């Protein structure tokens, strides 16, 4: 057995030495740390194979299994495995008398029983598995380091690029300040500014930016298609985003269009105190019956009984986007036996990171659309518009108050984009320092979804 020892300061260097000396198929028998260095005992693949399969007609191949040997057989077996070179003759021992008992055979290290082929195979397999695990861990560490280096280089190059842009193209810097102040993400701002046509002043550049954002904000241009088509709609979203109030506003519009007999209301909110009573009060005012369900079976029965209704609105219980109940709620609506269209309520006062989490949690197999709520409470609305654009959501309505049904409006892309910039226009010049803009633009690569933004 030609076992070789390799030492190096790190595991990676020791493995490299093993591969250079014994090839990529080398078998690692052990590894340990000694004297501040990594020590690896390795065996060439050919040597391991020869150990696993003894050569034909060799003493190991011809020997019977170890379990069948008598008690003195190991000594004889060890004798037969010794090297063929003649050993020096030992001095003659004094002759014993006939009455002296024969000495019992003594086991020595050289006379240890040989390992079977199964044992060798298991040792080799364990060594190979350990080597693969070590190599996979090393490879994973190297890939993480490469990704970190790539991200660092991209960030530094972006900072250098935008540092030069500040002095070379000041109109782009002005547009950047406006977009960041309005609440749009740095990745969307960078993508649009990089595509900004040349030879434009700041005012013309802002008009181009607003037109592109308006063109990429998908909205429902006419609610007649929604109200006349009817169907089953479920308003979903986290707690406190205005689902019940928005349900009442939509119910009022349906009643004014088709009458109370064509509408039904369902609530699944049995958790909050008074939640069912709140929707029941709205239903009593509108003259519409409110049904309460607890699970998927109840919802299936209720929808089957209400199949003759033109429109059915479902007010769901508010669940945090990080709660496991979100998945259960989406599964319940999808398995209700009817084509339930889910409308996601987005809180305009929430941060962009929170809104992205909400969309990912409630996405399921697809959302029919969304409703922007609490528009009157938001200091900036670029954050929610950015999420709607990047997540490719269809914006149905915007809600800007508690009045039913007055404070529910169809989404107007041009108005929303213009309002997003007007709300923070005064803070655009002072919100970010010149030295902070390159850092903002260098903090991460552009979103892959931005490739689908239509520039026109």
Q: State pLDDT tens for residues 203-225.
A: 888 899 999 999 999 988 788 87
Structure tokens at 52: 């696993």
372 pLDDT above the threshold of 90: yes
Q: Yes or no: say if 364 and 334 are a contact pair by the CB < 8 Å rule.
A: yes
Mean pLDDT of 256-281: 80
CATH of domain 218-410: 3.40.50.300
Per cent of the chain over pLDDT 70 is 72
Closest C-alpha to 282, from 407, 373, 405: 405
Rg (CA), the chain: 38
Give the model's confidence band at 5: pLDDT under 50 very low, under 70 low, under 90 confident, else very high. Answer: confident
pTM for this one? 0.59
337 pLDDT above the threshold of 80: no
DSSP E strand stretches across 203-353: 231-236, 263-267, 290-292, 311-315, 340-347
Q: How many Å apart are CA 267 and CA 251, to the nearest integer?
A: 13
Structure tokens at 147: 């990704």
- pLDDT of 152: 67
Q: Yes or no: say if 165 and 437 are a contact pair by the CB < 8 Å rule.
A: no
Give residue-wise pLDDT tens across range 11-57.
888 888 988 888 888 888 888 888 888 888 888 877 766 665 555 55
Q: How far apart are the first and last CA of the chain?
A: 72
CA 351 to chain centre: 20
The residue extents of the domains of the chain are 1-55+116-168, 218-410
- pLDDT of 397: 92
pLDDT, greater one: 164 or 338: 338
CA 447 to chain centre: 15
- pLDDT of 88: 46
């Amino acid at each position: 057995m030609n076992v070789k020892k390799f030492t190096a300061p790190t595991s990676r260097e020791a493995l490299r030495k093993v591969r250079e000396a014994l090839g990529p198929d080398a078998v690692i028998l052990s590894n340990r740390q000694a004297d501040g260095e990594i020590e690896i005992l390795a065996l060439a693949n050919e040597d391991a194979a020869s150990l696993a399969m003894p050569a034909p007609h060799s003493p190991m191949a011809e020997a019977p299994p170890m379990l069948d040997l008598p008690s003195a057989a190991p000594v004889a077996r060890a004798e037969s495995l010794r090297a063929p070179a003649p050993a020096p003759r030992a001095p003659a021992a004094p002759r014993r008398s006939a009455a002296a008992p024969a000495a019992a055979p003594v086991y020595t290290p050289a006379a240890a029983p040989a390992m079977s082929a199964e044992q060798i195979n298991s040792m080799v397999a364990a060594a190979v598995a350990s080597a693969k695990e070590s190599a996979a861990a090393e490879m994973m560490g190297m890939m993480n380091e490469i990704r970190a280096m790539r991200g660092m280089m991209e960030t530094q190059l972006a900072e250098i690029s935008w540092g030069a842009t500040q002095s070379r193209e000041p109109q782009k810097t002005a547009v950047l300040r406006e977009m960041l102040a309005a609440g749009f993400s740095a990745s969307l701002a960078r993508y649009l500014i990089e595509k900004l046509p040349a030879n434009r002043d700041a005012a013309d550049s802002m008009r181009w930016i607003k037109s592109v954002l308006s063109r990429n904000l998908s909205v429902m241009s006419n609610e007649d298609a929604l109200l006349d088509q009817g169907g089953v709609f479920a308003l979903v979203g986290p707690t406190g985003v205005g689902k019940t109030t928005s349900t009442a506003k939509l119910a009022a519009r349906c009643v004014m269009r088709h009458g109370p007999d064509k509408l039904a209301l369902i609530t699944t909110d049995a958790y909050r105190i008074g939640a069912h009573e709140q929707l029941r009060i709205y239903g009593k005012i509108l003259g519409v019956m409110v049904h309460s369900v607890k699970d998927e079976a109840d919802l299936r029965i209720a929808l089957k009984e209400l199949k003759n209704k033109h429109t059915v609105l479902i007010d769901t219980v508010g669940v945090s986007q990080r709660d496991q109940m979100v998945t259960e709620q989406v599964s319940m609506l999808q398995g209700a036996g009817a084509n339930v269209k889910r409308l996601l309520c987005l809180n305009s006062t929430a941060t962009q990171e929170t809104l992205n989490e909400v969309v990912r949690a409630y996405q399921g197999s697809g959302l029919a659309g969304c409703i922007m709520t609490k528009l009157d409470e938001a200091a900036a609305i670029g954050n929610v518009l950015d999420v709607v654009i990047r997540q490719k959501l269809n914006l149905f309505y915007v809600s800007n108050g508690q009045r039913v049904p007055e404070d529910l409006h169809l989404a107007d892309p041009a108005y929303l984009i213009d309002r997003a910039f007007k709300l923070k226009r005064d803070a655009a010049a002072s919100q970010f320092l010149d030295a902070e803009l390159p850092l903002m633009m260098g903090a991460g690569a552009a979103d892959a979804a931005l490739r689908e933004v239509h520039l026109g």
